[in-house]
Amino acid sequence: MSRNYYIAGNWKMHKTRAEAAELAKALAAQLKGGKHKYLVAPSFTSLEAVGAVVKGTNILLGAQNCAPEEQGAHTGEVSVLQLKDLGVQAVILGHSERRHIYKEDDALINKKVKLVLQHGLEVILCVGELLEEREAGRAEAVCETQTVKGLEGVSAADLGRVTIAYEPVWAIGTGKTATPEDADAIHAYIRKVIGKLYGPAAAEQMIIQYGGSVKPENAAQLMAKENIDGALVGGAALKAETFVPIAQFS
Ligand code: PEP
């Protein structure tokens, strides 16, 4: 398997600029020379401060969301052009908190995915089922729909800048982690969906991160699974002492 591991930290609505820059400095020092791909996604307000720290390091600068339009009368939104201007290299889209708290649907997420790719940035597209959907045996179907609709109209050439994050909603911020076997089964299914859409080579190359209460104690077991290619980390990404061991799992 030739896929590289990709570990991303989603800092959500945490940290002032000074706190964010301090964490970024610790990560830049401790992950220097690290063998995987790394990204941190601070709040919009800290992007410039964190960008100044991670510039020229092996840590990419990510944003947690962006508007579905380039510019215009969209009070409270932040555009991909503004993110690019700050040096943002990747945007997390379709996070479950955006889908379920802010009611973003697949069509809106797809619009954002295409816009971000059109401007040359990378995308982390999050998919994942609710607990009731899992209990009703619909986990695969939900992830398939979110993957297919999220990628509608994305060319095979642009797919190389897309990472998928499988994040079962019931595991996010709850301390409950999917078992490595359950997570791997959904990752394999998503890979099959990519294969149907883009062919076997694209499926083989697709990086699929797992997200949902990843911690230093469970990272290695998850990452040992054939179809798990990294992690999207929330709570444990807020401190260097918990993010670094995940990023350096062995
Ligand atoms: C996330 O927000 O993407 C996430 C996976 O959070 P946590 O690690 O806290 O469950």
Question: Does residue 24 lie within any of the structural domains?
Answer: yes
Check residue 176 and give its pLDDT: 85
User: At which residue do the structure tokens 């820059």 appear?
Assistant: 21
Quick one: pLDDT band at residue 196, thresholds 50, 70, 90?
very high
94 lines ligand 1 (CB under 6 A): no
Check residue 155 and give its pLDDT: 98
Quick one: pLDDT band at residue 1, thresholds 50, 70, 90?
low
Question: Does residue 93 lie within any of the structural domains?
Answer: yes
Question: Does residue 147 lie within any of the structural domains?
Answer: yes
Question: Does residue 1 lie within any of the structural domains?
Answer: no
- pTM of the entire structure? 0.97
Q: Which residues pair with 126 in a beta bridge?
A: 165
Quick one: pLDDT band at residue 177, thresholds 50, 70, 90?
confident
12 sits in the region (left: phi over 0; alpha: psi -120 to 50; else beta) called left
Answer whether residue 104 shows pLDDT above 60. yes
CATH number, residue 138? 3.20.20.70
Check residue 86 and give its pLDDT: 98
Rounded mean pLDDT of the chain?
Answer: 97
Nearest ligand 1 atom to the CA of 171 is 10
- Report CA(114)–ligand 1 centroid distance (Å): 24
Question: Does residue 152 lie within any of the structural domains?
Answer: yes
Let me know if 167 is a catalytic residue: yes
For 16, what's the count of Cα atoms within 13 Å in the CB-facing half-sphere? 2
Domain carrying residue 143: 6-247
Check residue 173 and give its pLDDT: 87
Check residue 2 and give its pLDDT: 74
Of these residues, 140, 144, 167, 187, which one is catalytic?
167
- Domain count for the chain, please give it: 1
